[in-house]
A and B are shown apart, each in its own frame.
Chain A
Amino acid sequence: MAEVDIRKLNTWFKDNHVLKDLSLTIKENAVTAVMGPSGCGKTTLIRAINRMNEIISGSRTTGEVYINGINIYDENTNVYELRRKVGMVFQRPNPFPKSVFENVAFGPKIHKMANGKEIDKIVERSLKEAALWEEIKDRLNDSAFSLSGGQQQRLCIARALAVEPEVVLMDEPCSALDPTATTKIEALIREIGEKYTVIIVTHNLQQAARVSDFTAFLYVGKLVEYGDTKSVFENPKSELTEKYITGEFG
């Protein structure tokens, strides 16, 4: 559980100025949705929080992001430890080409968090947290690809939770899933939102409304509005927000 304080964040990809002077404070232990039309920078924003933008060549970031009071863009930051504390779930489920068990155990092994029997416990805990344990506890050694799409995504969530993060980033986690799987994952997101700081990017307005406690609306790289979800969806302060959520554009 950590508060994420974003201050004057700017990101360029080569000459493209994607995030413009963005400042935002994400509340801890809550689910915050980031919404906006395509190309508004929402994925770039969350990838700035675990510094995954740096992997893309030609990217440049200025500004500060404080997690629990520490600026993660400081030059002394251990990026690998940062990525343990800030987990990520991607749009398409991307389990490793290994067994279910190995997928979840991968993170803790890399970070030397435990060994032997301890790893078994961590795997069980994580799979339970991701509401997947009951379904696959007898299939831990099966290939991850033998699971359904929704199960694979829950596996990816378990994998991220296994390393005991403080923040969990989700980039449109349900967009590749069918409605039943989506419903399960949305319920799961609300549950883990009580223990972790969850930031979810979604282009599905109803999902943002259902799943989040707070909502941020981005437009062409700028923060247009940010508030508790009920107020944003019932009585938005900005006309641009109003137009977007009532479907007049986007």
Chain B
Amino acid sequence: MASVTKERVLFVIFGVPMVTCLLVFFWIVFVLSTGIGTLRWDLLTTSVLQGGIFEMIIGTVYLLLGAAGIAGPVGVLAAVYLVEYAPRGKFTRIIDQAINNLAGVPSIVIGLFGYTFFCRQLGLGISLAAGWLTLTLMMLPIVIRGTEEAIKLVPASFKEAALALGTTKWKATSSMTISSAAPGIITSIMLGVARVAGETAAILFTSCVLVTRGLPKSPFEPVMALAYNLFVKIVALGESPDEVFGIALVLFFIVAFFATAAISLRIHYRRRQPWLR
């Protein structure tokens, strides 16, 4: 086959899936937009007890912030350990594999584990805290892997130069590697959040209830969440999908917000990392 023709054929072969994805994306947006009608500003700010969805939104936000607050530091430190300090050997390979496996565990299983361990064993009951811990388990692989990649992209020369000046290994790592990798780290945390924002199964039995009286006052109280409510309304209460589309749309926007923010941050900080070009 002449190479010009071959190029054209390949272009089509690669182009078709991309176009298909775009089409699917727009179709999803279209379908969701039929729910725009049910969205009103007062709906978002009114308490559930009066027909709004305020507590659901805030509940989701609480869950996400808390999970990020735990998964962030833990994930970053774990990644730093794996890249900088872990000795090459069987033990490290096992840890590596375990992280990969964790990423592949179905969310319902994680939810069940969370319920058994965090809610029952540790006595947290159905609470925000249990939700945080369970969501952390889902976020960790993303944060760890993302941080590892970000750290590996930082040129070793910075750390080497710092060490040659007489810094300790930790100071060299923290002042050079971590701070240079910061944009990548934040991006991976945001991606982790985007991943778990719509998680239903994990929070199903660990932290959510259908209705709470106001916002939870401590982490040990249960919480309302958009995804949970969506699920329950359709499956358990048999409400028509049209009515809950508004909720779905809000959830969609939250996830889209985090994903977009992650990408924008990454683009913005690329400028300050000339070694990546």
Residues of B contacting A97 with CB < 8 Å? 158, 176, 180, 272-273, 275
Chain B 110-124, CB within 8 Å of chain A: the 1/0 string? 000000000000000
**Bound state CA distance, A88 and B164, in angstroms?**
6
> Which chain B residue lies CB-closest to A163?
B165
Measured as residues with beta carbon below 8 angstroms from the partner, the interface class of chain A is 20 to 34
B96 adjacent to chain A (CB < 8 Å): no
Complex A-B, nearest 9 residue pairs according to Cβ-Cβ distance, in ascending order: A94-B157, A83-B166, A88-B164, A84-B166, A80-B166, A107-B165, A94-B161, A145-B274, A110-B167
Q: In the bound complex, how far is the Cα of B168 from the Cα of A168, in angstroms?
A: 20
B165:A110 contact, CB within 8 angstroms: yes
- Does A81 contact B161, Cβ atoms closer than 8 Å? no
User: Closest chain B residue to A106 by CB distance?
Assistant: B165
The number of inter-chain residue pairs (CB within 8 angstroms) is 62
Judged by a CB distance under 8 angstroms, whether B160 is at the interface is: yes
Complex CA gap A50/B167 in Å reads: 13
A136 within 8 A of B: no
Please encode chain B, from 134 to 159, with 1 for each CB lying within 8 Å of some chain A CB and 0 for all others.
Answer: 00000000000000000000010110
Once bound together, how far apart are the Cα atoms of A79 and B167, in whole Å?
A: 9
- Name the residue on A nearest B157 (C-beta): A94
Interface string of A79-92 (1 = CB under 8 A from B): 11111100110101
A110-B171, A145-B274 given; A94·B160 CB < 8 A:
yes
**CB neighbors of B among A90-125 (8 A):** 90, 92, 94-97, 106-107, 110-111
The answer to whether B162 touches A90 (Cβ under 8 A) is no
Q: Which of A81, A83, A92, A145 contacts B164 (CB 8 A)?
A: A83
Contacts of A80 in B (CB 8 A): 166-168
Residues in A with CB closer than 8 Å to B209 are none
Docked complex Cα distance between A231 and B219 (Å): 80
In the complex, are the beta carbons of A106 and B164 less than 8 A apart? no
Question: What residues of A have a CB within 8 angstroms of the CB of B157 in the complex?
Answer: 90, 92, 94
Which residues of B are found within 8 Å of A35, using beta-carbon distances? none
B163 within 8 A of A: yes
Does A159 touch B at the CB level, under 8 Å?
A: yes
Residue of A nearest to B171 (CB): A110
Give the distance to chain B from A80, nearest Cβ to Cβ, in Å. 4
Query: For window 61-94 of chain A, which residues contact chain B by CB distance below 8 Å?
Result: 79-84, 87-88, 90, 92, 94
Assess whether A94 is in contact with B165, with CB atoms less than 8 Å apart.
Answer: no
Assess whether A240 is interfacial by the CB under 8 Å rule.
no
Bound: A92/B155 CA distance, A: 12
Asked if A50 and B164 sit within 8 Å, CB to CB, the answer is yes
Q: Contact at B166–A94, with CB atoms within 8 Å?
A: no
Q: Output the least CB separation between B215 and chain A (Å).
A: 42
A163 touches B162 (CB 8 A): no
Which single member of B88, B166, B168 contacts A107 (CB below 8 Å)?
B166
Q: List 8 A-B contacts (CB under 8 A).
A: A80-B167, A87-B164, A87-B165, A88-B164, A97-B273, A106-B165, A111-B166, A143-B272
Chain B residue contacts of A57, Cβ below 8 A: 88
Nearest residue, chain B, Cβ from A145: B274
Q: A187 at the A/B interface (Cβ < 8 Å)?
A: no
Assess the B166–A106 pair: CB atoms within 8 A: no
Asked if A160 is an interface residue, CB under 8 A from chain B, the answer is yes
Q: Contact between A83 and B180 (Cβ–Cβ < 8 Å)? A: no
Interface residues in B87-112 by Cβ distance below 8 A to A read: 88
Chain A residues with Cβ under 8 A from B274's Cβ? 145
CB neighbours (8 Å) of B162 from chain A are: 96, 106
Whole-angstrom distance between the Cβ of B274 and the nearest chain A Cβ: 5
What is the bound-complex CA distance between A160 and B165, given in angstroms? Answer: 7
Q: Given A94-B155, A97-B180, A52–B166 Cβ distance below 8 Å?
A: no
User: Taking the nearest CB of chain B, how far is it from the CB of A106, in angstroms?
Assistant: 7
B241-275 CB mask vs A (1 if < 8 Å, else 0) is 00000000000000000000000000000001111
- Across-interface contacts of A92 in B (CB, < 8 A): 157
Contact status B161-A96, CB under 8 Å: yes
Q: Which of A179-204 contact B (CB under 8 A)?
A: none
User: Which residues does chain B contribute within 8 Å of A159, judged by CB atoms?
Assistant: 161, 165
Min distance, Cβ B150 to any Cβ of chain A, angstroms: 13
**Of A87, A90, A145, which is within 8 A of B160 by CB?**
A90
- Chain B residues whose C-beta falls within 8 Å of the C-beta of A111 in the assembled complex: 166
Q: Chain A nearest CB: distance from B240 CB in Å?
A: 55
Report whether A96 and B176 are in contact in the complex, using a CB–CB cutoff of 8 Å: yes
Cα distance A107–B160 in the bound complex, in angstroms: 13
Neighbour of B166 across the interface among A55, A95, A110, A145, CB < 8 A: A110
What A residues does B273 contact at CB under 8 A?
97
Determine whether A156 belongs to the interface, using a CB cutoff of 8 Å to chain B.
yes
The contact string, 1 if C-beta is below 8 Å from chain A, for chain B 175-190, is 1100010000000000
